[in-house]
């Protein structure tokens, strides 16, 4: 009798740990995180979409666009929607390159700023123009007749 009562419990326990197949709707739950580069979002989306074998290209493209935070890319997709996921990937590559270039430029500026901070103050002292008199008051007006 102990075994009769434990069988349903064990079935429930193992059923909950069983890996379930993902459905197309699970693609719509993937969103780009705040500050996450487009490249990383695309990698996460692709990894999940491989687990959903029967997904159409159009559903993948729509789900990807719905999860985007990148405003420029989203505007581009809104103006000219990509119906095939592979076409969307080609367009995404351009925006990924743009993000990489911007990150590289930003990194260069930060390094230059840090370099300037490490050097210390500049050689020329800043002049305080508040105490300086206007030019017409500084000129000595001596007239000899």
> What is residue 26's predicted lDDT score, i.e. its pLDDT?
85
Identify the architecture of domain 22-106 in CATH: Orthogonal Bundle (1.10)
> What is residue 42's predicted lDDT score, i.e. its pLDDT?
94
* pLDDT above 70 (res 145): no
Helices 38-49 + 57-66 axis angle, to 10: 140
> What is residue 54's predicted lDDT score, i.e. its pLDDT?
83
Q: Would you list the domain boundaries of the chain?
A: 22-106
* pLDDT above 70 (res 53): yes
Rounded to whole angstroms, the Cα distance separating 26 from 86 reads 20
């Amino acid at each position: 009798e102990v075994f009769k009562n434990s069988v349903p419990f064990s079935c429930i326990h193992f059923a909950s740990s069983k890996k379930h197949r993902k459905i197309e709707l699970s693609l719509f739950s993937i969103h780009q995180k705040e500050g996450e580069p487009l490249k990383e979002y695309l990698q996460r989306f692709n990894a999940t979409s491989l687990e959903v074998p029967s997904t159409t290209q159009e559903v993948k493209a729509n789900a990807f666009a719905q999860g985007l935070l990148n405003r420029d890319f989203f505007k581009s997709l809104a103006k000219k929607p990509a119906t095939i996921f592979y076409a969307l990937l080609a367009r995404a590559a351009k925006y990924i390159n743009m993000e990489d270039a911007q990150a590289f430029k930003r990194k260069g500026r930060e390094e230059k700023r840090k370099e300037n901070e490490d050097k210390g103050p500049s050689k020329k002292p800043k002049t305080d123009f508040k105490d300086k008199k206007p030019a017409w008051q500084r000129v000595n007006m001596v007239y000899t007749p």
